[in-house]
Amino acid sequence: GEDVEQSLFLSVREGDSSVINCTYTDSSSTYLYWYKQEPGAGLQLLTYIFSNMDMKQDQRLTVLLNKKDKHLSLRIADTQTGDSAIYFCAERYDYKLSFGAGTTVTVRA
Amino acid sequence: NAGVTQTPKFRVLKTGQSMTLLCAQDMNHEYMYWYRQDPGMGLRLIHYSVGEGTTAKGEVPDGYNVSRLKKQNFLLGLESAAPSQTSVYFCASSYGEGSDTQYFGPGTRLTVL
């Protein structure tokens, strides 16, 4: 598989913005994804971005893609306690997804 | 629609025992996948299928076998379980075109003693 890297932990105060970063290696990736995993649950798709886009916004979520640097970020505005979870970045290659190790986001009051 | 379901939810095996994990999807998806999730390592692809009757190896296929006899079901087998196979197993499915979003099941937590 391809290598996808993300920082492992992020702590953020409730109401602040969270920014989760990810780097990937396959320049031919067509889609990049952000998934959320809550404790004891499966992965839930949050959003995705097509590789010819620079930005995608969906309510509180903003995805930025820098293809030149192979860098993807997810910004969560007005972070809430329900946003505490593990966030996975993934890139698509062939029919498959390659996942990062996940960023654990902890929201503190 | 139930989406993607997995059975069982939990299982404890002794080394050398065998078992089969069942994944079912009701979205008429062509593609199905099996992943394992270990702490600090994200998800790693074990096997996948691009249609009924087809299977292919993923990143970590050793010690596992799969079958896709029906489009809606994807079975993962462990013939002789080892402690290194203690993990959480996730099944996913997708249409295989467009954004090809993968939809995940709730997972099976397997412990091999």
Report the pLDDT value the prediction gives residue B41, as an integer from 0 to 100. Answer: 81
CA B80, distance to chain mean position in Å, is 17
- What's the rounded mean pLDDT across residues A75-90? 97
Across B31-41, b (16+ Cβ under 10 Å) vs e yields bbbbbbbeeee
CB contact under 8 A, B42 and A88: yes
- Tell me which of A32 and A94 has the higher pLDDT: A32
**Cβ B48 vs Cβ B73: under 8 Å:** no
Query: In which residue ranges of chain B is pLDDT below 50?
Result: none
Position A32 scores a pLDDT of 93
| A102 contacts B42? CB cut-off 8 A | yes
A positions 6-65 inside 8 Å of B (CB) = 8, 31, 33, 35, 41-45, 48, 50
CA A108/CA A105 separation, integer angstroms: 10
- Residue A1 has what pLDDT? 44
Cα B95 to Cα A62: distance, rounded to the nearest angstrom: 25
State the amino acid at position A22 in one-letter form: C
Q: What's residue A2's pLDDT?
A: 58
